[in-house]
Chains A and B, each alone.
Chain A
Amino acid sequence: MSMADLAPSLPADTARTGGLARLAVAATVALLFAGGGFLLHAEQQGQVIALLAAFVAVFALAEKVPVGRRIVGLCRAHPGTVNLTAALSILAIAAALREEHYTLLMMATVALFATAAAGLTLQMAFAGVPNFAGAAFFAVGAYVAALLGHTGIPHLLVLLIAGLAAAVLGLVLLLPVLRTRGHYAALVTIAFGLLLRAFLEVNDVLGGPQGMKVKSFSLFGLDFSRVTEIGPYDVSFYLPYALASCALFALAFFLVRRLETSFVGVALDAVRSDEVAASVFGLSIARWKATAFLLGNAMIGVAGALYGMMNGFVNPNSANFGDSLIMLSILVLGGLGNLWGAVVAAVVILVIPEKLQAIQEFRLIIFALLVIAILRFRPSGLMPRAVRDFSALVKGGSR
């Protein structure tokens, strides 16, 4: 009797996981990334507009056409194939565009903002803790990189310390955030962001309004800013940054996905969905909100540190409210809780306005219309989060 309601869901034929299904998934993902690569590289307005049209068409088809829905279902059933193809595609794009400074800079920026969005995902999409100060924690990471970058501490450790620093600074906010809810908690974080920026502006040790220089990232003695060739190939010094940023995103992706597909993920979802039910069944609301908030800020801080090192400077303006809103927009536009969605949204929000430079002020109108259109037709984001399905883990498990 209840079966009628259950019908339109994931494809039931996941048992028939032939190589064909995986191939279709891999082809779809590769095609999407190829489109993204072309968009990153495109310079003529015509190309950009055509790619945008293709992009809109793809997302419309995925929803409206049976084949599209089927492919989406297959992609959800084969996350391993999706992730592997995505990683290879990113490497291929990086290799193809190895000499393009600006394109690689954008690629790294997308990856680092997507990493920050992964932190926000833990906080907002899982635990339901609002954070309107993402850029502030991002800037904290960059300032730590500025302070410690030239001290001889290995830079990987500096990234880690930057994450810790952001988490520790988040502690200041923890009590008011735990004691308030919804809009009020959001206001607390907005106030924190404004406060931090004002503090950075008047603080001479941290360079005041001018900010500070940040030493470029070096990994095991390899200074990224001096890389000009790899083997026989001339490359941009942004190439190692783009790769490192993507690696950082991969790590954040791995951590978030692991948490999501564990009892911790169930606990966080319960705390967000229904605090009363969660506490009646023995969960500590404060513990889980605090865990998500601190871990999330740590991720944002690490991403901010690498971003600062790539740019070579950081100033109080990095902590502005607008950038915090950009991070949130990435989260919402992509679909709360879906990290691939965050990547696509980061491309939409960070790359498209740059690509439309030539039409000057009209670009913001086109950009705004695009965002409104996306949320009009896909109110839960470009790629809504899928329900957590543990069945794959149980079948392949230790039974």
Chain B
Amino acid sequence: MSPLLACSGLTMRFGGLTALDALDISVGKGETIGLVGPNGSGKTTFFNVLTGLYKPSAGAVQLEAQDLFARSAQEIGRAGVARTFQRSRLMLDQTVFDNIALGALGRLDLSLLSALVLRGRFRRQLSELVERATALTRRFNPQIAANLFKPAGSFTMIDRRRIEICRALVGAPRLLLLDEPSAGMTHEETRALMDDLLAFREEMPDLAIVLVEHEMDVIRRISDRCIVLNFGKKIFEGPFDALIADREVQTAYLGGAQ
């Protein structure tokens, strides 16, 4: 079966620095990949290239039949790639609903005519979206669903992370990129978030997830396959147990003293 996402020879250079070095990464439908590596190894750069924030220098990116190499962020977003960010990028003074709606705007009617005059269509889409956002947030935390029209900034860190994940999910993406969902959270919170995500996973069996994470516990629980980056190169690919035992990975993480 051909993979959902296929990157080959993906390279990203910033001047003299090669941040991604001829990466071959493929993700199957419904697969969860744990992407690990020391700081600066290129994990977030990989996400930024995949989502069109950086233009890659060379290589190929294919999402099923669609060529996404060096496409704009807008095109890639509309093709069904959604993500969260390592540092939260919620609009804190706007409501939870506004934040989640952003994840679906690419597919909604944004014409001035229906905003100003023909409001029927807008209202239908609005009602649908409110229902969808309510159902989605309720799964993660009923308190969010009950306060959909409160500012996102009035929620705790873990709820904000949940809102960000809901925003990425509301547009029914094919590929979800999660950038360190556990950053800044306690172990318990991380575990709760992962439980939610796993439960959600069961209902969307086709959704592929790539997860960047330092928390090995999270990687172990959630990923089908792991990929390790170091200095922009893929140094390991395989199941979690093999990763733990891998000599080169240990050296990359702990330093190569012996």
Question: B41 contacts the other chain (Cβ, under 8 Å)?
Answer: no
The residue that B94 contacts in the complex, of A291, A388, A394, with Cβ under 8 A, is: A388
A289–chain B nearest beta-carbon distance, Å: 14
The verdict on B181 contacting chain A, using a C-beta distance below 8 Å, is: no
CA distance A391 to B98 in the complex (A): 12
Counting residue pairs across A and B whose Cβ atoms lie within 8 Å, the total is: 141
The answer to whether A281 and B110 have CB atoms under 8 Å apart is no
User: Is the CB of A3 closer than 8 A to any CB of chain B?
Assistant: yes
Q: Which of A9, A394, A399 is close to B150, meaning CB atoms less than 8 Å apart?
A: A9
A282, B130: Cβ atoms closer than 8 Å: no
Q: List which B122-172 residues lie within 8 A (CB) of chain A.
A: 122-127, 130, 141, 143, 147-151, 154-156, 159, 167, 171
Would you call A6 and B154 a contact (CB within 8 A)? yes
* B115 near A263: Cβ-Cβ < 8 Å: yes
**Nearest CB of A to B42, in Å:** 19
In chain B, what residue has the closest Cβ to A264? B115
- Nearest CB of B to A227, in Å: 32
- Are A5 and B89 CB-contacts (below 8 A) given A387-B95, A388-B98? no
Could you mark each residue 251-282 of chain A with 1 if its beta carbon is under 8 Å from any beta carbon of chain B, else 0?
Answer: 00001001100111111011001101111111
Among A5, A277, A394, find the residue whose CB has the most chain B CB atoms closer than 10 A: A277
Query: Is B127 within 8 A of A397, CB to CB?
Result: yes
For the complex, is B120 an interface residue (Cβ under 8 Å from A)?
yes
- Contact between A258 and B154, CB atoms less than 8 A apart: no
| Contact across chains for B156 and A282 when beta carbons are under 8 A apart | no
Contact bitstring A358-399, B, C-beta under 8 A = 1, else 0: 000000000000000000000000000001111101100111
B53 at the interface (CB under 8 A from A): yes
* Inter-subunit contact A387/B156 (CB<8 Å): no
User: Is B43 located at the chain interface by the 8 A CB criterion?
Assistant: no
Residues 210-244 of chain A, each 1 if its beta carbon lies under 8 Å from chain B, else 0 = 00000000000000000000000000000000000
B111 — nearest CB in chain A belongs to which residue?
A264
B32 contacts partner chain A, Cβ-Cβ < 8 Å: no
A293 to B12: give the CA distance in the assembly, Å.
Answer: 35
Query: Which of A2, A273, A279, A391 contacts B73 (CB under 8 A)?
Result: A279
Closest partner residue, chain B, to A3 (CB atom): B143
- Measured between beta carbons, the chain A residues less than 8 angstroms from B74 are 279, 282-284
Q: Is A394 a contact partner of B124 (Cβ separation < 8 A)?
A: no
Contact at B97–A258, with CB atoms within 8 Å? no
- Shortest C-beta distance, B45 to chain A (Å), equals 14
Residues on A with beta carbons closer than 8 Å to the beta carbon of B95: 387-390
Given contacts A263-B125, A264-B115, A398-B120, contact A387 B130 (CB under 8 A): no
Q: What B residues does A281 contact at CB under 8 A?
A: 77, 82, 102-103, 105-106, 167, 171
- Of A1, A276, A284, A389, the residue contacting B89 (CB under 8 A) is A276
The answer for the CA separation of A258 and B122 in the assembled complex, in Å, is 11
Instruction: Please determine whether A399 and B127 come into contact, CB atoms closer than 8 angstroms.
Output: yes
- With a cutoff of 8 Å between Cβ atoms, the chain B residues found around residue A5 in the complex are 154-156
Judged by a CB distance under 8 angstroms, whether B195 is at the interface is no
Q: Give the total of A residues in contact with B, Cβ under 8 Å.
A: 39
Tell me the complex Cα distance, A53–B85, Å: 49
Interchain CB contact under 8 A, B155 and A263:
no
- Cβ B154 vs Cβ A263 within 8 A: no
In contact, A398 and B102 (Cβ under 8 angstroms): no
A291 to B89, CA, bound (A): 24
| Bound Cα distance A267, B155 (Å) | 22
Q: Are A391 and B149 in contact (CB under 8 A)?
A: yes
Cα A281 to Cα B167 in complex, Å, equals 9
Q: Which of A6, A255, A259, A265 has the most CB of B within 10 A?
A: A6
Q: Using an 8 Å CB-CB cutoff, how does the interface string of B96-119 with A read, 1 for contact, 0 for none?
A: 011001110111111010111001
| Interface pair A280/B52, CB less than 8 Å apart | yes
Q: Mark B43-79, 1 if CB is under 8 A from A, else 0.
A: 0000000011100000000000000000011101110
A255–B51 Cα distance when bound, in Å, is: 34
Q: Does the CB pair B85–A387 fall under 8 Å?
A: no
A199 CA to B211 CA, complexed, in Å: 58
How many Å from the CB of B93 to the closest CB on chain A?
A: 7
Task: Tell me, yes or no, whether B83 is within 8 Å of chain A by CB.
Answer: yes
Q: Is the CB of A266 within 8 A of B105?
A: yes
In angstroms, how far is the closest chain B Cβ from the Cβ of A390? Answer: 6
Interchain CB contact (< 8 A) of A259 among B72, B83, B91, B115: B115
- Which chain A residues numbered 1 to 48 have a C-beta less than 8 Å away from chain B? 1-3, 5-6, 9
- Give Cα distance in the complex from A282 to B101, angstroms: 12
A269 contacts B106, C-beta separation under 8 Å = no
In the complex, the answer to whether B106 meets A282 with C-beta atoms within 8 Å is: yes
A279 touches B94 (CB 8 A): no
B240 to chain A, nearest CB (A): 29
Known contacts A394-B126, A398-B123; A282 and B110 CB within 8 A of each other: no
CA distance A387 to B141 in the complex (A): 22
Q: With a CB–CB cut-off of 8 A, which chain A residues contact B130?
A: 390-391, 394
Chain A residues with Cβ under 8 A from B148's Cβ? Answer: 391
What distance in Å separates the Cβ of A287 from its nearest Cβ neighbour in chain B? 9
A291 and B112 form a contact (CB under 8 A): yes
Contacts of A391 in B (CB 8 A): 130, 148-149
**Interface contact A282-B77, CB-CB below 8 Å:** yes
Q: State in angstroms the CA–CA spacing of A397 and B122 once bound together.
A: 10
Establish whether residues B112 and A274, one from each chain, have CB atoms under 8 Å apart when the complex forms: no
A319-360 at interface with B (beta carbon < 8 Å):
none
A387–B93 touching, CB < 8 Å: yes
Q: A259-B115, A280-B82, A281-B106 are in contact. List 7 more A-B contacts (CB 8 A).
A: A9-B154, A267-B105, A280-B73, A280-B76, A388-B95, A389-B149, A398-B124
Q: Which 5 A-B pairs have the closest CB atoms?
A: A282-B106, A262-B115, A282-B77, A279-B73, A273-B91
Residues of A in contact with B (beta carbons under 8 Å apart): 1-3, 5-6, 9, 255, 258-259, 262-267, 269-270, 273-274, 276-284, 291, 387-391, 393-394, 397-399
